């Protein structure tokens, strides 16, 4: 039985992206939002993802020049936003492309209260340093959250 939650994997193509997809094949919808490959390893990851039937969103990253933040933050924001725009499910879990987890437990937790944002913040920042810091490592929410 498929989990009625989308898995959005965001970031540069990495071998862990493939592991995240195969570990979580129980998700009804899996999207990878990234930018064009920059080397042969990333090209190979893209071939593997295409073979797995994943929805690939390959973003050209020209818009980051208009943002007043470091390019990697602009890439993160744009690929996350473009991925979220294409999610069809009522709930989504977003994961980084360089990490992988078995996520069915988090999907179950999210389904219990889909109006709440659930996140794993294992890189904790002091409140005075970065108020409202939400980790980019792993989070999820229902449609009313985004």
Confidence of residue 124 (pLDDT cuts 50, 70, 90): low
How many whole angstroms separate alpha carbon 95 and alpha carbon 105? 14
Cβ burial 116-132 (10 Å sphere, 16+ → b, else e): eebbeeeeeeeeeeeee
pLDDT of residue 126: 59
For residue 83, the domain's CATH number is 3.90.550.10
> What's the number of domains the chain is made of?
1
What average pLDDT does the structure give for the chain?
81
pTM assigned to the model: 0.80
User: Does residue 108 have a pLDDT over 70?
Assistant: yes
Rounded Cα–Cα distance for residues 63 and 135 (Å): 23
Q: What domain range is 24 assigned to? A: 3-145
- pLDDT of amino acid 32: 97
Whole-number pLDDT of residue 123: 55
Confidence of residue 43 (pLDDT cuts 50, 70, 90): very high
pLDDT at 10 over 90: yes
Q: What integer pLDDT is reported at residue 76 of this predicted model?
A: 79
pLDDT over 70 at 128, yes or no: no
Q: What pLDDT is stored for residue 3 in this prediction?
A: 85
């Amino acid at each position: 039985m498929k989990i009625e939650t989308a898995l959005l994997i965001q970031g540069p193509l990495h071998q862990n992206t493939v592991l995240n997809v195969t570990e979580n094949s129980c998700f009804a919808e899996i999207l990878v939002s990234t930018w064009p490959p920059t080397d042969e390893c990333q090209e190979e990851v893209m071939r593997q993802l295409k073979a797995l039937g994943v929805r690939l969103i390959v973003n050209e990253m020209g818009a980051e020049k208009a943002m007043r933040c470091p390019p990697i933050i602009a890439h993160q924001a744009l690929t996350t936003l473009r991925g979220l725009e294409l999610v069809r499910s009522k709930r989504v879990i977003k994961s980084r492309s360089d990490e992988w987890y078995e996520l069915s437990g988090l999907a179950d937790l999210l389904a219990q209260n889909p109006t709440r944002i659930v996140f794993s913040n294992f890189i904790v920042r002091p409140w005075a340093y970065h108020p409202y810091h939400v980790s980019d490592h792993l989070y999820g929410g229902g449609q009313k959250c985004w």
